[in-house]
Structure 1
Amino acid sequence: MILHILIVLASIGVFGIVQAQLVEPDTIITYYDRFDVAISFFEKGRYRLAQSHFQHILTNEKEFYDPAAQLMLAKSQLHQGKLSDADRTCRSFLNTFPNSPYELHAQALLGDISILKRDYPSAMDRFLSIRPSITDSLFLLEIDNRIVSCISIGVRSDQIEQILFNETNDMNRAILNLARGYRSMLDGDNYEARISIEVIGRSILPIQYQDMFNALNLYKEDKGSFQATVALILPLTGRHKTIGQTFLMGLADMVNDHQHDMTVNFQIYNNRSNDVKSLQLLKMVNLDRSIIAAMGPLSNRSAIAAAGILGSLPILISRTDLPDLPQTSEDLFLLSPSLEIKARFTARYLVNHLLLKNIAVIAPGDDEDRAQADYFLDELYQLGIDPVAIEWYHGKPENISRQFRVLRKTAWKLIPEINPNQDALDLEIDSLDALFDVDVTDFFELPKESDVETMNQRDSSKIVLETIHALYLPIKNNELAYVGTQLPMYNLNTLLVGNENWYDFDVLNQDVIGPHVQGLSILSSMSPSVGISKNANLNTFYSMGYDQGKFVNMITSQSSGKRRMFKDYLRRGMRFIGKSTVIQLSGKERNENQLLQILEYHGKQMKAIGIFDGNTLVNYKTGLQ
């Protein structure tokens, strides 16, 4: 009897049903048992074990002739980040089974490997090569979404032209012309963008490409012209490439959404995640008078080097942890508030606007990590507030019970003592009381001292204490799971105040944490409302690309395309409210963003309730100051 096994291939664009090889009855149990175990491991995310079992099947049972096991082996390797191994396994599959009905899935998997390697031209070329042969609508939808991502993230015009030169399929050519027009639009090439859209047949484009087409169409109808060119310096390759590519994705979406009123042309430069290359690019851009500014998510080292460049080029830095950097050069502009600004403004908000006095702090105490808490404490002292408790922890906060116990002891001490004579002091005596001799024992019997229950330590720990008005807890990245699960155990009814490292919503929204930290407050220039993934760090750079690009476009729309005028408008301190970011440059040199949003956590969402510039609070709901 001959049996068949059906294995459903899922995730990352690989779809369809793969039928295992026909086997004889005496090998069915061994093969199917091992295959079922391997599939079970894969579905549970235990990819190393899945790989081991698929390799055993190929080596010991199938003599390397089983397309199902080989393709699943490649997927197991891919999920472990073994891109080279997965690539070799896929290519071996294609060589061994040249006319396999599952060839399209292996080709798609190779395209996914290229995406993970950030080789977007190769990925797009491979996806386009299999697109005309796909009949499964779900599979085709996934392939189209991947092509759109490749176009949005990083395919240059010359790379698109090379693919287009060899393409014969009409729909693929329409997609490539759309890609060419989109790239030209992003590069600010008005002529090429308009030429590209003229040759695109809108009716032939699938629905996944319509948003991109509409953006190009608005571009075509816009009779205006760019007033300025801004250099965008990004790490598109190297160890920080994810940051640069995510930033660029946000910028590209902003261009899509606001193409009809764009006044700036972004010229993109790749610093290859290299600080020396960043400096070389900044020096080169500084000499090009047609470029009025440079911007990007530069590293701290690159930002320091930028401060030493002699010239008139304004350099807009997306984010840095160096608080004094804006004072080193009048040509540097910091678009995100420093740690110092966020910490000091948080203290001002608690004291000056919420009128809180009993404030406690638990914070990381390692030298490189305690800066934010130090700024917060210093501002409290300047405001005349002495914290009721300051507790430091070192390393991973896997057990900070000692720190929380100190807070409970402090909270107990803050409970006002009851004067035992208070009732007597407040007693009002009626003159008629003196006419009667009343024995209180006629009414009730006083309890004996031995009968009075005493509260033990366990009983006292159950009491919810409210005497600490606020707890400032600026955790480090990836510490929320440790701190958040310990916090509810100590029954402190207090306003919890955190920092941006609380933005890990997969952890924060868990039942053991979320319900116990309702009302959590964070002061930040960025709200986590716009994003592309569950990764808070990636969402941050996506939001920066979107909103900071829009901010620059707002400035260029009012300047005359000259560096001096551009800097003058930056220093006017215009308030910008973006999708998730707020910007207002102020400070001593008027070159540092000092505007924050007040965020509160309710339900399972973090929402902005107002904006705060260190002095004035504006409530979003009422507009009151």
Structure 2
Amino acid sequence: MKYRLIPLLVLALSVLILSTLPNSVQPITILQKDITYNPEVEKVYQKALQDYQLGRYDMVIWELEELIKVFPQNHRITSILYLIGRSRYKLHKNDAASKTLHLLQKQYPKSQLWDDAEYLLAAIEYRRGLYSKVLDKLLYLVKHSDDSRLKQKATILAYQLLQAKYSASDLETVTFKYKDSTYKPILLLAKAAQFWKAGKTEQAKRLVNQFKLQYKQSILIQEADSLARRLQQAPAGVVKIGIILPFSGYFAEEANAIYQGIQLALEETAGKLPVQIKLEVRDSRGRVVEAIRNIQQLCADPKVIAVIGELESEPTAAIGVVADQGCQTNKPTSGYGLAPTDNNGSLVVLAPVATETGIASLGNNIFQLVPDVRLRGEKIAQFAMLKQGLKSFAILAPADDYGWEITDSFAATVDRLGGQIVAESWYYESAVNVKPQFRHIREIGFEKMIRDSVSVAEPSLSISQIDSIVSVIKQQKLERLLSESKGKLADSTAYPITSIDGMFLPIYSEDIKYVAPQFALFNIQAQILGGEFWNDKDVLDDNRSYVDGAIFASGYFLNDTDPAFRTFRDHFRKRFGRTPGKLEVFGYDTFMFLNAALQQRAFSRQSILQTLLDIKTFKGLHGTFHFGEKSRVNSNVNILQYANGVIRKLQ
């Protein structure tokens, strides 16, 4: 069975590691024997300690490195090296910190700070994701350290590391490697935890009881008691979550990405509820009819209380309608806390990525967890006008459902806020050549420049008079340009068009490489505005000279410095052997949103629907979900900008 991670365990590991590296100076006030006490060294060292406690780590490094230059051998040398290493660790200069700590260990192997340096090196290896090295160092301290504080911390961390980062097979390898009796309590309890995570409750209980009999004085006795309590609260029933995704067909890769995110979330939350959560997985094959068959099967199983799916909008809408109107069953239910009638009726449907406007309105049970197209068009228009001060806009969009819907929303919002859509163009199937569309937009912009100038110069003129003047001026200017260019280009693109404030390009990622250079060619000096498909850094980097400064709306923004995301990424890499992408995050966040309701003991179809309706804000990895009072559509749209090779959040 695939192993599950204990919730918050990796966070606990990080906290415990950091807790043994406090700002307290106690571990680093050790005098070097056989070296004369130097008051000047002591003064600088104490000053460095104060700076360390104030978080001035760069200052600490500079002060102590200068001190070593003047007094290379002094009574504080090992404490100085250790403090430099700790300061570099705090600054995330892992390589430099490691080099300093290894120098301390090599030059002063009998120092009382040798073990502290080893523990800090373990923390550095943890940051690097080299967990076998972390375990080696921790277990070395467990056996050899004379520092009871470090021995205790190392023992607990080694046990928790084996749970968070090692599968059952990995643990067997570790057990074979570390045969010394010193390690047996750690490995025994870790094996019990592995049984618990795999759902083998009775085997886990036997090992915990064995541990408590054999190792009553162990440092891990409290961990054993905690595990025993969890085992006493083992699930008394089963609740099922349906998964409908196109695992075969055109979107198979995307379906598996979302599913792996769901799997990881399930594994991380395992054992936290008084029921066992199981996934009922169905393959829609990318077909609406098959998706309907899938949801009918899940409706018939009273233990299924919610469904996650589908990928595309059409099958999502289909399963949502069936789940709302067709899920009626008279089969009795069984399991923890479920009455026979609790699971008759609608199934909750969570749509992880479907964006078509109106899906959630097809039933009272459907939740769209990413903003729909209408919201995206509305939000980018609001930002452009209210935050950027733009008033006039041109639009070039694909002539399909997505292009029409987001353009309608954008244009309606501009109209409502008193702005102006001066030009609207479309392209069909391919964006390889959109020069005719941009030429049309440029002509309109050129005419608007003349019209605006005449209106300002002669405000008393009527519209018809302005039209006549514009026609004359336009003809004269075109004749002059024609003469200057010798007939090659009547409307010279060297002349910038400045009458259009914003150019809305809700195009697909694969079209950016064609549209962006053509837009630049026609010299329309407008702020580029885009939709969801602009949120592709690789594509933007490839076209950086054309799209730098572009602003776009997206339902997805990931802060890769966020500790929660880094923990997720590390878990995912360990579990699946690769780095997660956008869809994996969507899958993970979808299950975690559902889990927020499960944590409130919502184990029936009716109770989980009501509990989810009560959740108005939920913090996911890719952003915060916001639901209005009567809305089941996540309204959180991120306004992003690509500038200088970086995508940053503006709103």
TM-score bracket for this pair, using the shorter chain length = 0.5 to 0.7
SS at match of 1:270: strand
Distance 1:419 1:246, change over 3 A: closer
Does the alignment pair 1:350 with 2:350? no
Counterpart residue type for residue 527 of structure 1: F
Does the alignment pair 1:583 with 2:625? yes
Tell me, yes or no, if the aligned pair for 1:525 and 1:595 is still in contact at 8 Å: yes
Match of 1:335 in 2: 369
Tell me, yes or no, if the aligned pair for 2:530 and 2:552 is still in contact at 8 Å: yes
Does the alignment pair 1:303 with 2:317? yes
SS at match of 2:599: helix
Match of 2:539 in 1: 507
Distance (Å, rounded) in 1 between the aligned partners of 2:455 and 2:499: 21
Match of 1:597 in 2: 638
Tell me, yes or no, if the aligned pair for 2:193 and 2:227 is still in contact at 8 Å: no
Equivalent of 2:435, from 401, 407, 412?
Answer: 401
Tell me, yes or no, if the aligned pair for 1:363 and 1:392 is still in contact at 8 Å: yes
Tell me, yes or no, if the aligned pair for 1:228 and 1:263 is still in contact at 8 Å: no
Does the alignment pair 1:364 with 2:398? yes
Q: Aligned-pair distance for 1:422?
A: 7.0
Tell me, yes or no, if the aligned pair for 1:547 and 1:581 is still in contact at 8 Å: no
Does the alignment pair 1:539 with 2:581? yes
Equivalent of 1:294, from 304, 307, 319?
Answer: 307
Distance 1:601 1:256, change over 3 A: farther
Tell me, yes or no, if the aligned pair for 1:314 and 1:563 is still in contact at 8 Å: yes
Distance (Å, rounded) in 1 between the aligned partners of 2:310 and 2:207: 32
Match of 1:231 in 2: 241
**Structure 1 vs Structure 2 CA RMSD:** 5.2
- For 1:223-622, list aligned pairs within 5 A: 229-235=239-245, 237-239=247-249, 240-254=251-265, 266-274=277-285, 278-299=291-312, 300-301=314-315, 303-308=317-322, 309-310=326-327, 311-366=345-400, 369-415=403-449, 461-510=493-542, 513-527=543-557, 539-586=581-628, 588=630, 590-610=631-651
Distance 1:409 1:268, change over 3 A: same
Distance 1:484 1:572, change over 3 A: same
Q: Aligned-pair distance for 1:362?
A: 0.5
SS at match of 1:348: helix
SS at match of 2:426: strand
Distance (Å, rounded) in 2 between the aligned partners of 1:364 and 1:555: 39
Match of 1:81 in 2: none
Distance 1:487 1:418, change over 3 A: closer
Distance (Å, rounded) in 1 between the aligned partners of 2:203 and 2:539: 44
Counterpart residue type for residue 555 of structure 2: S
Tell me, yes or no, if the aligned pair for 2:321 and 2:363 is still in contact at 8 Å: yes
Which segments of 5 or more consecutive residues in structure 2 lack a partner in the other structure?
1-131, 133-166, 178-185, 212-223, 328-344, 459-482, 561-568, 574-578
Q: Aligned-pair distance for 1:388?
A: 0.9
Distance 1:303 1:492, change over 3 A: same
Q: Aligned-pair distance for 1:250?
A: 2.0
Q: Aligned-pair distance for 1:391?
A: 1.2
Q: Which has the higher helix share?
A: 2
Distance (Å, rounded) in 1 between the aligned partners of 2:456 and 2:294: 78
Distance (Å, rounded) in 1 between the aligned partners of 2:398 and 2:363: 31
Distance 1:242 1:190, change over 3 A: farther
Distance (Å, rounded) in 1 between the aligned partners of 2:359 and 2:639: 25
SS at match of 2:606: helix
| Higher RCO (C-alpha 8 Å, min separation 6) | 2
Tell me, yes or no, if the aligned pair for 1:218 and 1:259 is still in contact at 8 Å: no
